[in-house]
A and B are shown apart, each in its own frame.
Chain A
């Protein structure tokens, strides 16, 4: 695939595309986390403080996957090109 892209004048590391793919799931996940927090706070405003710790915990958990993708994009940068 690299050869095909290179033949068309596209250069760079395929890892960047891998990172883009890796970011889709966490992107959806982080969106769901914050949507749920907003919904919970709208329904029960006094619970905002109670659920805030879980908001950041859920955010951090889903975000970690995208960050793995980012780290691995750099790890495999040289091998792929």
Chain B
């Protein structure tokens, strides 16, 4: 009993923002953390998976080829063809890799020993969102020219003239300024909140277990059960957010390629 009390006192409670800043590994502060290793591992695994799967493609696929093909097929059919349409084949490789990378780094949040997603740090989602942002502007400018692209971005031709002074600033801000912000904050905040929820229920369970009151010790069971349930929910959220991130990237590309609204 005294062990659990000591344990509970050592635990960080309540969960706060500081819990997301991990110490450096091997004494290398600030530039080698668990996040660095996790991101590099994700990069290596994805490169190996996709290059090996497609090096010797067979009619009867191996397990790796089957997995790579089903992910590619899922992104192509349910995101590429559904949203972008006939130009989709140019963007599906990017979207597939984006989906896999975001899903991989998200799922770290519930993998034992990793236990936290790199996407709980805003820099990672922001970088991914900026790649998508630069990309949809680039394909739009390449297809229609800069003037036409930015005109299509901010000007709604069907709206009445007297509304335009109101609409153009709104469209400008929502389409060109805050798009990378909303795209990245959505992913970041989901992962951040998910990790925080897991901390609340797991550490909270230990805190309740270490409480002096006998009834409160019993309540810790509920807390641990909720932690398990929320872990399963986080697995769902991790994949869903990767899907949404790629879906919105595809939508932005489609909007940039469309002739007019």
Residue ranges of A at the interface with B (Cβ–Cβ < 8 Å): 52-53, 56-57, 59-60, 63-64, 67-68, 70-71, 74, 77
Interface of A is mostly: helix
Q: Which of A53, A63, A68, A71 contacts B79 (CB 8 A)?
A: A53
The 7 closest A-B pairs by CB, nearest first: A67-B189, A60-B244, A64-B186, A53-B82, A71-B189, A64-B182, A70-B189
B192 contacts partner chain A, Cβ-Cβ < 8 Å:
yes
> What 9 new A-B contacts, CB under 8 Å, besides A57-B247, A64-B186, A71-B188?
A52-B78, A53-B82, A53-B83, A53-B247, A56-B243, A60-B186, A64-B185, A67-B189, A70-B189
Interface residues of B in 174-189 (CB under 8 A from A): 182, 185-186, 188-189
CB-CB under 8 A for A63 and B186, given A56-B240, A56-B243, A57-B247: yes
Bits for B61-87, please: 1 = Cβ < 8 Å to A, else 0.
Answer: 000000000000000001100110000
Which A residues touch B244, using CB under 8 A? Answer: 56-57, 59-60
Any A CB within 8 A of the CB of B248: yes
Give B179 Cβ to nearest chain A Cβ, in Å.
11
Task: Choose among B189, B240, B251 the residue that contacts A57 (Cβ–Cβ < 8 A).
Answer: B251
Which residues of chain A are near B28, meaning CB under 8 Å?
none
Residue B231 is within 8 A (CB to CB) of chain A in the complex: no
Chain A residues whose CB sits within 8 angstroms of the CB of B193 once the complex forms: 67, 70
Question: Closest A-chain residue to B122, C-beta based?
Answer: A71
Query: What are the interface flags for B237-258 relative to A under an 8 Å C-beta threshold, 1 for contact and 0 otherwise?
Result: 0001001100110010000000
